Amino acid sequence: MVKKFLIAFFCVAAHGIFAQNGTVSPYSYFGIGDFRDKGTVDNRMMGGISMYGDSIHINLSNPAAYSKLKLTTYTAGISHSELTLKDFTETQKTSVTNLEYLSIGFPIAKNAGIGFGIMPFSSVGYNLTDEQVPSNGDPTITNVFAGEGGLNRVYLSAGFEPIKNLSIGATVNFNFGTLEYQRIQSVEDVQFGTVDRRESRISGYDINYALNYNPILKDKYTLYTSVLINTQGNLTSTNTQNIGSFSLVNGQDIEVIEVNLDAVNLKRTELKIPTTTTLGLGFGENRKWFLGGEYSFQKFSDFQNDFLGLDNVTYGDATSFAFGGYFIPDYSSLSGYYKRITYRAGLRYDVTGLEVNNKEINDFGITFGFGLPLGNSFSNLNLGFELGRRGTTDQNLIEENYFNINIGLSLNDRWFQKRKIN
């Protein structure tokens, strides 16, 4: 009954929360916003590594891990972020809460499983003010930049183990959503301001492939190796742009017209998210401990968004390093609850590929958390925490310091099994 109630709650919540702005970062102004696909809470708390999979957790980033599932698993995740944004002159604090994913996975045969669900793919959410005070005494010019929206993702995954210790899998993703951008300019002591509103309705597919090879060594230890390839995402954007003037007194539009984007070949544009390749290597003792690392690279310099037409941003190649692991004192202990808790920790460093005002925007995070068993079942509640920093105050940019709290629920059940009466 509790499981059904929780699943129903997350389903209802997904409709509203997925529609909200998933970020308050000024860097979501660029590209198609902040990328949000970072896996489940249990993987995130190990630095975001995706190579590890087991029989009771869904691995959203590695479809080959579905071959390990032995029980039907429902999973959902919520995050809350506290951010401190600062530049050379001031500091501002803000926060945001999101539903991160809602998924189900289950075995369909021996060493084979499938899963499907919904999660955010990217988010736009910012509100920036730029005041230009001329030194010659001319009126102050104020620009206000605001954006909202994002892309959601529905997916279908499958994984199986054709050869002992070798698993393969694939995920088909459909991405869709709307991004809205607005720029307002006003001049001191002038009654009217100008407005530039842009909207992109985006959709498109991409496919993830995964291969895991996990041989057993000395009857006790496991070597974990993985190759993940997220193929190029081919997204189509249908764009509209309206420009005009408005009253600074009451905010009403005075004269706003729609720009003929067909004339400049911007009505429909293509957004190509370059292929990402991830290599992983780890080692551990099953149900006891694990330690691993991953390296990802992406030719993000191939990305461009012609519709926004930003002059101060370029894209370079992106790389990412992640390290993490877990430890369980005694997963089968009957005498001590704390011995059955999973303790996780990790760190990551991302060279995002985004360059603003000729400065790289990099991201560093430290993660840790706990997997708390629920009663005597295989279900568990995963708590995670992350401390990190992104960006810089150089070149009039903004540095973000964040503290994330993540809560993931993983519920297990048995399907397609005959009930027996003794």
Q: Mean per-residue pLDDT for 4-30?
A: 63
Average pLDDT, the chain: 90
Contact between 43 and 74 (Cβ < 8 Å): no
SS (H, E, C) the chain: CHHHHHHHHHHHHHHHHCCCCCCCCHHHHCECEEECCCCCHHHHCCCCCCCCCCCCCCCCCCHHHHHHCCCEEEEEEEEEEEEEEECCCCEEEEEEEEEEEEEEEEEEECCEEEEEEEEEEEEEEEEEEEEECCCCCCCCEEEEEEEEEEEEEEEEEEEEEEECCEEEEEEEEEEEEEEEEEEEEEECCCCEEEEEEEEEEEEEEEEEEEEEECCEECCCEEEEEEEEEECCEEEEEEEEEEEEEEECCCCCEEEEEECCHHHHCCCEEEEEECCEEEEEEEEEECCCEEEEEEEEEECHHHCCCCCCCCCCEEECCEEEEEEEEEECCCCCCCCCHHHHCEEEEEEEEEEEEEEECCEEEEEEEEEEEEEEECCCCCCEEEEEEEEEEEECCHHHCCEEEEEEEEEEEEEEECCCCCCCCC
C-beta of residue 39 within 8 angstroms of C-beta of residue 61: yes
Domain ranges, ordered by start, for the chain: 2-413
The structure's pTM equals 0.90
Is residue 76 within 8 Å of residue 101, measured between CB atoms?
yes
User: With 90 as the cut, is the pLDDT of residue 292 above it?
Assistant: yes
Tell the residue number behind the tokens 């579905």, with chain if given.
66
Query: Would you state the pLDDT for residue 21?
Result: 64
- pLDDT for the residue 422: 40
Contact (CB, 8 A) for 207 and 217: no
Mean pLDDT for the stretch of residues 387-404 = 94
Rounded to an integer, the average pLDDT of 71-83 is 94
Residue 230 or 7, more confident: 230
218-238 pLDDT tens trace:
889 999 999 999 999 999 999
Mean pLDDT confidence for 100-104: 95
- Direct distance between the N- and C-terminal alpha carbons of the chain, in angstroms, rounded to an integer: 24
Average pLDDT over residues 239-262: 90
Exposure letters 83-105 (e unless 16+ CB within 10 A, then b): bebebeeeeeeeebebbbbbbbb
Q: What is the pLDDT of residues 329-363, one digit of tens each?
A: 998 887 888 999 999 999 999 999 999 999 999 99
Residue 2, burial from CB neighbour count under 10 angstroms (0-12, 13-18, 19+): exposed
Lowest mean pLDDT among 82-91, 381-390, 410-419: 410-419
Question: Rg of the Cα trace of the chain?
Answer: 24
Q: pLDDT above 90 covers what percent of the chain?
A: 73
Asked if the 2-413 domain carries CATH number 2.40.160.60, the reply is: yes
